[in-house]
Amino acid sequence: MNYSMVKSLVLKDWYFQRKAILLCLGGGIASLAIVAFGGKVGFYLGLVLLITILIVIAATVVMGTLVGERDNQTLAFVMSLPISFRDYTAAKMLVNLLIFIPFWLVLTAGSLGLVLAAPPIRGLFAFTVIMAVEILVSTCLMIAVALVTESKGWTTSAMIAGNLALDVVGYMVAHIPGIGNGMFGPVVHWRPAATVSLIVEFALIALMLGGAFFIQSRKREFI
């Protein structure tokens, strides 16, 4: 792996996505302020806004850095550089995760902070952690699909599937006895079912990103 080339590609994408990052950063800070100071209505409104910003930043960066290279015909320029397919794949995965994860961490930390700060809903702690990781799973699905297909259509489909999966997973997780029981209580419960759910989610992330890497390494045509 040519780490210096990977770094150059990451910085390049960071440069082109800087406006979207700044806009979402501003939106994220505003949402957190609404959550913290907006009362009961503001709490829900701010959380919805935060999740929306997460989805927007993920979609913008994936579309801009992965699908956009092909759509804008800049892929030939990138691939004329002294890089291998592995370098390209690693750089694209890295830049998407590096941009998304800070936003995701802020959302997760903010949500968990709010759950812990409000005694009546502390029981939501495990559920919130699992759903936060599920958002990461959905984003990784979108990254993997965009990397492999470089298609706007498939990436949009993956984004829709990932968002729908959030509802389904939320419903399912809430009905797992080890998590659902006491979910609306004042006490934090962390049972084995929550650990298993997290392991499954991280395994899915590893599978999707590893699978994308594997498929990319077997590709015989890059432009």
Partner 1 sequence: MNELSVQFDGVCKRYAHFALEDIHLELPTGSIMGFIGANGAGKSTTIRILMGLVHQDKGSVQVLGHPMPAEQAAAKFDIGFVSEDMRLYGAATLAWHMDFLKPIYPRWDAAYAEVLARRFDLKPEQRIKGLSHGQRVKAALLLALARRPRLLVLDEPTTGLDPVARVEVLGELMAALADEERTILFSSHNTLDVEQISDQITFIDRGRIIDSDDKETFLDRWRRLRLVLPPDVAVPHLPGVVEVGGSGRLPVLTTNCFEPAMVSVCNELGATVQAVDTMTLEEIFLANVHSRRERVTA
Closest separation in Å from C-beta 78 to partner 1 = 10
Q: How far is the CB of 102 from partner 1 (least distance, A)?
A: 23
Binding-site member from 39, 40, 41, 80 for partner 1 (CB under 8 A):
80
Among 3, 37, 44, 77, indicate the residue that binds partner 1 (CB under 8 A): 77
Residue 185 CA to residue 189 CA, distance in Å, equals 9
Instruction: Please provide the distance, in angstroms rounded to a whole number, between the alpha carbons at the two ends of the chain.
Output: 20
Contacts of 184 (CB under 8 A, 6+ apart): 121, 123, 124
Q: Of these, 6, 83, 107, 209, which contacts partner 1 (CB under 8 A)?
A: 83
Sequence-distant (≥ 6) Cβ neighbours of residue 161 within 8 angstroms: 141
| Closest to partner 1 by CB, 54 or 92 | 92
Which CB atom, from 2 or from 157, has the smaller least distance to partner 1? 2
Query: Which one among 79, 174, 198, 215 touches partner 1, defined by CB under 8 A?
Result: 79
CB 127 within 8 A of CB 179: yes
- Torsion angle in degrees (nearest 10) through CA of 177, 181, 187, 193: 10
Compute the least distance from the CB of residue 3 to partner 1, in Å.
12
Q: Which of residues 2-41 bind partner 1 (CB under 8 A)?
A: 2, 4-5, 8, 12, 15-16
Which of the stretches 80-88, 102-110, 142-150, 152-160 binds partner 1 when contact is defined by CB under 8 A?
80-88
* Region binding partner 1 by CB under 8 A among candidate stretches 23-31, 82-90, 134-142, 158-166: 82-90
Q: Which of 22, 29, 33, 76 binds partner 1 (CB under 8 A)?
A: 76
Residue in this structure with the two tokens 């899915």, named with its chain if needed: 204
Choose the binding region for partner 1 from 20-28, 38-46, 74-82, 141-149 (rule: CB under 8 A). 74-82
Distance CA 176, CA 100 (A): 29
Nearest to 14 by CA among 88, 119, 97, 112: 97
For residue 170, what are its two tokens? 């939320």
Would you say 68 or 162 has its CB closer to partner 1? 68
Amino acid present at 169: V
Which residues have CB under 8 Å from 74's CB, separation 6+?
68
Residues in contact with partner 1, counted by CB under 8 A, come to a total of: 23
CA-to-CA distance for 4 and 27, rounded, in angstroms?
33
The residues that touch partner 1, with contacts defined as CB under 8 A, are: 2, 4-5, 8, 12, 15-16, 72-74, 76-77, 79-84, 87, 220-223
